[in-house]
Amino acid sequence: MTPRLTSLRLALWGVAAATAAGGALVWWLPASTSVPPLAPAAIEAPATAPPAMPADAAEEIVLANLFAAGRTPPTTRYLPPELAMDSAGGMSAASEMPPMVPDSAMLAGDVPRLLGTVVAPTGPRALLHLSLTSGPRLYAVGDREGGYTVVSVAPREVVLRGPGGRRTLRLDPEE
């Protein structure tokens, strides 16, 4: 062996021996008890307990299919009590709910608008907002609404045929 390899080997053996000695010393020394344990923080009970929900109602909510095609919108809308300013616990009737106002892009005539795409077991679907009179919904190839027909759905891209001819909608890379 060369003298350089011999000295490297001895240095490594020295480091290993020092590490082993340090580990043995730490093992045999008693643990320090000079640091007092932290006391658990006092847990304050809420001022008012939330209303109890029957167990069968909770299970019905858990088992409900939120994405079922036959599901209808709720008749009441939850608003936090500080926003509702009423004594109904934040529930307001559908007739009291503010009307759904289209955002600035929709008011500017940016219809149709692609919101997303998904590959479902029944084929690809696109979440589109095709008219100002209806909200966004999932469309398959061949579906029609607002004068538009879905020609194809690809990841992040949809081709429509409408009043102005073929139109390709793409999602921004940041979304």
For the stretch 117-159, pLDDT in tens is 988 788 899 999 887 777 788 899 999 988 899 999 998 899 9
Give the pLDDT score at 35: 66
Is there a contact between 153 and 160 (Cβ–Cβ < 8 Å)? no
pLDDT of residue 95: 47
pTM score, two decimals? Answer: 0.40
C-alpha span between 89 and 153 (Å, rounded): 43
Q: Cα(12)–Cα(144) distance, rounded to whole angstroms? A: 75
Would you state the pLDDT for residue 100? 47
- Distance CA(169)–CA(160), nearest Å, equals 8
Q: What are phi and psi of 13, to 5 degrees?
A: -65, -35
Positions in the chain short of pLDDT 50:
89-95, 97-108, 175
- 20 vs 124: CA distance, rounded Å: 62
Catalogue all structural domains in the chain, each as residue range(s) with its CATH number.
Answer: 73-100 (no CATH), 104-170 (2.30.30)
Q: Which of 174, 175, 139 lies closest to 160 in space, CA to CA?
A: 139
Rounded to whole angstroms, how far apart are CA atoms 18 and 25? 11
- 111, 143 in Cβ contact below 8 A? no
User: Quick check: helix, strand or coil at residue 153?
Assistant: strand
Backbone angles phi, psi at 19, to 5 degrees: -65, -45
- pLDDT value, residue 14: 93
